[in-house]
């Protein structure tokens, strides 16, 4: 008897059946049959590549006109996006199954972290947890190929599929929900999948905030409650007064979150343990569309969103909190607060409220003050601290542990985590424009060497704070205005409005000092709070020189004073993207590892608290992959409870599609930070380091010989991938290149990776590693996998990239390449075969991902829909480049479709 289909297969079949009925109605039965024939043919070819004629599939595509291929591309893309929804629903089922299972905590959970660290002393755990500070920074890189309208339809399908998963549904209700699914799929089918215009920065701000308001805002309290339950972190997260208390001291509380009354060890700090930032609207690096106006407007939108979200939840609480004053003990402070509100806001009323309902009365005033803060009217809150103080007054009068730790505690957690801005805005600018602007303000600066520039900057920073030089250069003036907007943002929205000022392509101390100078020069008042200045070291060479750069900065008096104003803390950003593009995968990973080790040791000697900001992307070549594994593979002592990580592009949709899955993703990140802090990995043995040094040298030389030294390579890249076409997709507000530079050097890392993902080669993720690993000792490499998390992560990421790559499909793109550039296919193919063979030898398995069969099946089941898209893309690339105007639109759609199937862009 055949095995029953899995729930994933069942959901996939249902969605394909419903989509098929939509295709019949919209395009006809013959169209539906053609689409599924392509899918079935691709699946048969994968199952039996020797027994199935691949040319039959390719010829069928070639016989269709470009206008006929357009709807087929859309159907394949929708099928892949529906497959992704089915996979996410399966993740949700697994999450709930683990929660219902009493066999032990789910791996990578906070409960698992608590069990692992249970043997440590109470004080040791409390001290570490008091410093817990995880920052997740959402970026608006052009990697999210899905339109907002399509995203909304996907969310509706998500909700309906979750409803259909309820076993209590009868056939009548099931049919009704399936009909609603068909309607949603039909509207989705009738919606353009490619944006009509390139998104503006404001569009990116709205899209970024959408993830917060639709999922993360209500997921965070669940995470923080779990932190309290498993690890004793204060619930709700402690506010400003906590800093005066001793972290980890035994503190009398109203009661733990389970509702029992008593005393327990509570870990306190002056902030929420997780917070959010955003680059959308503040990333000026190479983006002429971002500047002072977008910085100001982005923060205004942040503020409006935050106050609206808080107001909605206060209104709901006012409906719920109907307590009568003779049933609770109303404190004198709450009574006095209500009397003050009545005097200051005499016209505020609550319809339907009784005179003896003080909680509703107070919450009515709270809502009114939030509304006035949003409108800028008199009587509004000055800041989130005033709101928190009012909510704490209510908690103190709850006369119930259960109520005090319930909805009002969740609201406090949201207020302390998201504040009045939802997320701090990061501002980024490249070192070149910053230096160029400084040269127009300081005489002699442009002609000075590095030592001379540092001397001029120290003099400027210790002397008069302002210069009166008129700047006639348009680019310099624009940069100066952008930095001035940072100071104005802090004046308008408070000291935490700007999370950090990031210097892209930082290479030398003057890059940082000139930024400090520009901040000082443009400050409207001398008491403007200090903004953290964060150098971003991006290339392999810059990472190697980071210790020298920071050492010179720490020894410079004006910068030392700046760090003191920042609480003695220095944040350093690590660039995964450009370091991988510059030196290849292993050289990038090992360079990042070594830089962290050296920078931590240096900061410890200086008494400086250093935190690393990991600029990770979605793809493995840009540091992508599971956060938990990546954090645990960092050098020992480099985390210490503090980390910042970018959440780029499509990773937001993948990690946070649903509140429960968002909590799971967040706890995987936070639990890894806890473990890396309390149980860091052992120092790697000397022979491990020697082996990585050798691997780095060989892999980097092999990689650069192809990518940067072979004059044929740029033509291979541009001809065998839709790189030029990618720049025409309206998926980001920033250009694909830095300035007007051509070739690989000028290409941004994101479209560089995106292009190789499209043609299924994924070259940056593995090229050079096969030659390097082949020279190593297999027994040593197997030992390193077992004993060194860092090397284990490298091999896992390689294995994932190799599984996602498909050189059989990729070879079709060679039809588009000049004969001499096509000769590079031989070394590429040989290197791919080499790295796959060596990885399997190290793993001791017959096939890639044999150790993770569930992941293997999940990735493989998308291929029958991706493969036809790849073959169609080749055909349309040829036609479009030959002048077929009808091919252009469907071609752009294939880019989004393949991105959806690969679940990675940049």
User: Are 696 and 587 spatial neighbours (Cβ–Cβ below 8 Å)?
Assistant: yes
User: Are 692 and 590 spatial neighbours (Cβ–Cβ below 8 Å)?
Assistant: yes
User: Are 611 and 644 spatial neighbours (Cβ–Cβ below 8 Å)?
Assistant: yes
Closest CA relative to residue 276, chosen from 493, 425, 495, 384 = 425
Helices and strands, number each (H, E), in the chain: 42, 10
Name the pairing type of β-strands 274-278 and 424-430: parallel
User: Are 134 and 888 spatial neighbours (Cβ–Cβ below 8 Å)?
Assistant: no
Closest CA relative to residue 893, chosen from 285, 156, 145 = 145
Tell me the C-alpha to C-alpha distance, in Å, between residue 179 and each of 79, 157, 186, 296: 18, 12, 11, 45
* Cα four-point dihedral sign 545, 550, 551, 555: positive
Closest CA relative to residue 887, chosen from 54, 196, 61, 27 = 61
Tokens representing 453 are 């520039």
340 is catalytic: no
Q: What is the DSSP letter of 611?
A: E
343-346, long-range: CB within 8 Å, 24+ apart, which pairs? 344/379, 345/369, 345/379
Closest CA relative to residue 577, chosen from 750, 414, 338 = 750
Closest CA relative to residue 501, chosen from 480, 515, 522 = 515
Tell me the C-alpha to C-alpha distance, in Å, between residue 483 and each of 513, 523, 580, 582: 14, 9, 29, 29
With residues binned 3-state (H G I as helix, E B as strand, rest as coil), the percentages for the chain, rounded to 5, are 60, 5, 30
Closest CA relative to residue 417, chosen from 813, 24, 133, 72 = 133
Radius of gyration, alpha carbons of the chain: 28
Tell me the C-alpha to C-alpha distance, in Å, between residue 201 and each of 195, 290, 293, 422: 15, 7, 10, 17
Instruction: Using alpha carbons only, give the angle 806, 811, 814 rounded to the nearest 5 degrees.
Output: 145
141 is catalytic: yes
User: Are 795 and 632 spatial neighbours (Cβ–Cβ below 8 Å)?
Assistant: no
User: Are 37 and 857 spatial neighbours (Cβ–Cβ below 8 Å)?
Assistant: no
Closest CA relative to residue 330, chosen from 396, 389, 387 = 396
Catalytic residue among 302, 362, 581, 871: 581
User: Are 514 and 457 spatial neighbours (Cβ–Cβ below 8 Å)?
Assistant: yes
Instruction: Using alpha carbons only, give the angle 121, 127, 130 rounded to the nearest 5 degrees.
Output: 135
Length of the chain: 906
Q: What is the DSSP letter of 145?
A: -
Buried b (16+ CB within 10 A) or exposed e, 451-479: eebbebbbebbeeeeebeeebeeeebebb
**3-class state of residue 766 by DSSP:** coil
Could you tell me if residue 136 is left (phi over 0), alpha (psi between -120 and 50 degrees) or otherwise beta? beta
H or E segment at 479? helix 474-493
Q: How far is CA 461 from the centre of its chain?
A: 36
Could you tell me if residue 520 is left (phi over 0), alpha (psi between -120 and 50 degrees) or otherwise beta? alpha
Distance, CA of 606 to CA of 490 (rounded, Å): 29
Catalytic residue among 141, 302, 440, 521: 141
Query: Which residue shows structure tokens 């290149």?
Result: 737
User: Are 306 and 338 spatial neighbours (Cβ–Cβ below 8 Å)?
Assistant: no
Name the pairing type of β-strands 498-504 and 424-430: parallel
Tokens representing 640 are 């210490």
Q: Known catalytic residues?
A: 141, 581
């Amino acid at each position: 008897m055949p095995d029953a289909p899995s729930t994933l297969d069942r959901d996939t079949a249902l969605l394909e059946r419903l989509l098929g009925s939509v295709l019949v109605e919209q395009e006809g039965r013959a169209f539906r049959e053609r689409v599924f024939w392509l899918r079935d043919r691709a699946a048969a070819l994968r199952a039996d590549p020797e027994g199935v004629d691949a040319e039959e599939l390719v010829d069928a595509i070639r016989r269709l006109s470009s206008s006929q291929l357009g709807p087929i591309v859309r159907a394949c893309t929708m099928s892949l996006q529906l497959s992704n929804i089915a996979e996410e629903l399966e993740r949700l089922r697994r999450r709930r199954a683990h929660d219902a299972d009493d066999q032990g905590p789910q791996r990578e959970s906070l409960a698992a972290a608590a069990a692992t660290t249970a043997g440590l002393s109470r004080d040791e755990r409390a001290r570490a947890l008091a410093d817990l500070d995880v920052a997740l920074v959402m970026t608006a890189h052009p990697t999210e190929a899905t339109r907002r309208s399509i995203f909304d339809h996907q969310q509706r399908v998500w909700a309906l599929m979750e409803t259909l998963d309820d076993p209590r549904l009868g056939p009548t209700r099931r049919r009704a929900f399936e009909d609603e699914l068909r309607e949603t799929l039909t509207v989705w089918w009738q919606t353009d999948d490619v944006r009509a215009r390139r998104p503006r920065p404001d569009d990116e701000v709205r899209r970024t905030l959408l993830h917060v308001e639709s999922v993360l805002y209500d997921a965070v309290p669940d995470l923080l409650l779990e932190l309290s339950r498993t690890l004793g972190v204060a619930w709700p997260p402690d506010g400003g007064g906590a800093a005066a208390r001793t972290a980890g001291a035994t503190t009398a509380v109203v009661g733990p979150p389970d509702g029992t009354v008593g005393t327990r060890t509570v870990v306190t700090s002056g902030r929420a343990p997780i917070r959010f930032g955003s680059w959308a609207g503040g990333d000026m690096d190479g983006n002429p569309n971002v500047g002072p106006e977008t910085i100001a407007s982005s923060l205004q939108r942040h503020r409006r969103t935050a106050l609206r979200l808080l107001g909605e939840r206060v209104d709901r609480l006012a409906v719920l909190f109907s307590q009568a004053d003779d049933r609770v003990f109303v404190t004198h402070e709450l009574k006095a607060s209500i009397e003050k509100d009545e005097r200051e806001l005499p016209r505020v009323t609550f319809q339907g409220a009784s005179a003896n309902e003080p909680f509703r009365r107070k919450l009515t005033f709270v809502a009114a003050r939030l509304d006035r803060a949003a409108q800028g009217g008199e009587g509004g809150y000055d800041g989130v601290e005033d709101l928190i103080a009012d909510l704490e007054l209510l908690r103190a009068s709850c006369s119930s542990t259960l109520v005090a730790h319930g909805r009002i505690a969740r609201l406090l957690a949201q207020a302390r985590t998201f504040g009045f801005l939802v997320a701090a805005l990061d501002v980024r600018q490249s070192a070149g424009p910053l230096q160029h602007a400084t040269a127009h303000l300081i005489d002699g600066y442009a002609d000075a060497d590095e030592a001379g520039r540092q001397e001029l900057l120290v003099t400027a920073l210790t002397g008069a704070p302002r210069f009166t030089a008129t700047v006639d250069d348009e680019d310099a003036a624009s940069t100066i205005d952008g930095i001035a907007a940072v100071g104005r943002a802090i004046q308008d929205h408070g000291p935490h409005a700007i999370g950090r000022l990031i210097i892209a392509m930082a290479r030398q101390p003057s890059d940082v000092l000139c930024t400090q100078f520009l901040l000082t020069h443009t400050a409207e008042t001398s008491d403007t709070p200090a903004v953290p200045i964060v150098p971003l070291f991006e290339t392999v060479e810059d990472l190697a020189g980071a210790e020298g750069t920071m050492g010179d900065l720490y020894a410079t008096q004006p910068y030392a004073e700046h760090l003191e104003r920042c609480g003695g803390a220095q944040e350093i950003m690590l660039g995964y993207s450009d370091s991988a593009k510059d030196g290849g995968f292993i050289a990038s990973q090992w360079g990042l590892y070594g830089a962290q080790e050296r920078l931590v040791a240096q900061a410890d000697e200086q008494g400086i608290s250093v935190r690393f900001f990991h600029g990770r992307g979605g793809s493995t070549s840009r540091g992508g992959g599971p956060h938990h594994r990546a954090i645990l593979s960092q050098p020992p002592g480099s985390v210490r409870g503090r980390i910042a990580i970018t959440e780029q592009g499509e990773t937001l949709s993948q990690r946070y599609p649903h509140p429960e899955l968002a909590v799971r993703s967040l706890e995987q990140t936070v639990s890894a930070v806890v473990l890396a802090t309390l149980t860091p990995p052992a120092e790697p043995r000397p022979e491990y380091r020697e082996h990585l040094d050798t691997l780095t040298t060989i892999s980097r030389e092999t990689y650069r010989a192809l990518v940067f030294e072979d004059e044929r390579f740029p033509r291979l890249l541009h001809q065998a991938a839709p790189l030029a076409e990618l720049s025409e997709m309206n998926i980001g507000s920033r250009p694909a290149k830095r300035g007007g530079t051509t070739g690989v050097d000028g290409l941004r890392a994101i479209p560089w990776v995106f292009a190789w993902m499209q043609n299924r080669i994924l070259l940056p993720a593995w090229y050079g590693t096969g030659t390097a690993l082949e020279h190593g000792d297999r027994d040593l490499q197997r030992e390193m996998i077992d004993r060194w998390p860092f090397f284990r992560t490298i091999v896992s990421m390689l294995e994932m990239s190799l599984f996602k790559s498909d050189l059989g499909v990729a070879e079709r793109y060679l039809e588009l390449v000049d004969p001499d550039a096509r000769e590079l296919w031989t070394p590429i193919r040989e290197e791919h075969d080499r790295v796959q063979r060596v990885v399997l030898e190290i793993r001791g398995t017959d096939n890639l991902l044999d150790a993770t069969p569930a992941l293997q099946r999940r990735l493989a089941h998308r291929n029958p829909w991706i493969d036809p898209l790849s073959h169609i893309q080749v055909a349309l690339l040829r036609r479009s480049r030959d002048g077929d105007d009808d091919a252009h639109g469907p071609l752009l759609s294939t880019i989004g479709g393949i991105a959806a199937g690969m679940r990675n862009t940049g």
